Amino acid sequence: MATATPNPLAPGSLDGKRALVTGSSRGVGADTVRYFADAGAKVVVNFRNKEARAVKLVDEITEAGGQAIAIGADLTDNDSVEAMIAAIKAEYGGLDILVLNASGGMESKMGEDYALRLNRDAQVGMLMAAREIMEPGSRIVFVTSHQAHFIRETPTMDAYEPVALSKRAGEDALRELIPSLEADGIEFVVVSGDMIEGTITATLLERLNPGAIEDRREQAGKLYNVAEFAAEVAQAAVDPVPADNTRLVGDVSSFTAN
């Protein structure tokens, strides 16, 4: 199950833990699931419409001796989310780690408000549903981008702006829940990364703005690939939570004031 990047989590370090990564049939989500499973966690591979990929990943994990199940759910559909949580409770008894990785908004024919429904409303709905089966000591990780995290200070490409604004709105809405989560003993951390090479978003942006990836690479000096960024997400699920609940991955000099 190894990816091109070594697992940042020690073997057996997640024995007995149960983890759900949304949007994990491919990309960053899939590699994050692999790291969790390799470290001993029982994992849930969530997909919206890529069932074959999800099942293939589950087979890969179980053949390597890990424990995994695939559950389809549309995060913008509350009933679908509730059904997924019920299935997880029935199979694993609860959750210890929730990674809010699924996002989007650049897809066509999904409606004008789709980015906001997915990147804000669905993230809050997913967290609220999952916390019902999470106990004290659990961890929630929200995955975002520098382009979204810093959107109020630093403009981004026009094609990505609606997505960036919706993801920042989602981050803000989730941060408002931190006091109540802490009261329940549930930890929360945001992981913000630079443009990630090999992701669907980067590919779409490159298509709309030829040269965008190379320009950003020159500015940042280095861009993380999917496996490298997934390793940071996995590490964020176990490392001490920063005081500001934020883990920044990659160069931020282009996004912050000098």
- Tokens representing 195? 């443009």
71 strand-pairing partners: 46
Residues 6+ positions from 91 with CB-CB distance below 8 Å: 69
Rounded CA separation 83/73 (Å)? 8
All domains of the chain in start order, with CATH: 18-192+225-249 (3.40.50.720)
Which contiguous run of DSSP H or E holds residue 133?
none
* 8 A C-beta contact, residue 125 and residue 78: yes
Long-range CB pairs of 157-162, under 8 A, 24+ apart, other chains included: 157/205, 157/208, 157/209, 157/212, 159/106, 159/204, 159/205, 159/208, 159/209, 160/106, 160/201, 160/205, 162/105, 162/115
Provide the pLDDT for residue 214.
72
Provide the pLDDT for residue 250.
87
> pTM of the prediction?
0.91
- Side by side, the strands of the sheet bearing 67-72 are 67-72, 42-47, 18-21, 95-100, 134-145, 187-193, 246-249
Provide the pLDDT for residue 113.
86
Provide the pLDDT for residue 2.
43
pLDDT per residue as tens, the chain (258 positions): 445 688 999 999 999 999 999 999 999 999 999 999 999 999 999 999 889 999 999 999 999 999 999 999 999 999 999 999 999 999 999 999 999 999 876 665 666 788 899 999 999 999 999 999 999 999 999 999 999 999 999 988 887 888 999 999 999 999 999 999 999 999 999 999 987 766 666 666 666 667 767 767 767 667 778 999 999 999 999 999 999 999 999 888 888 754
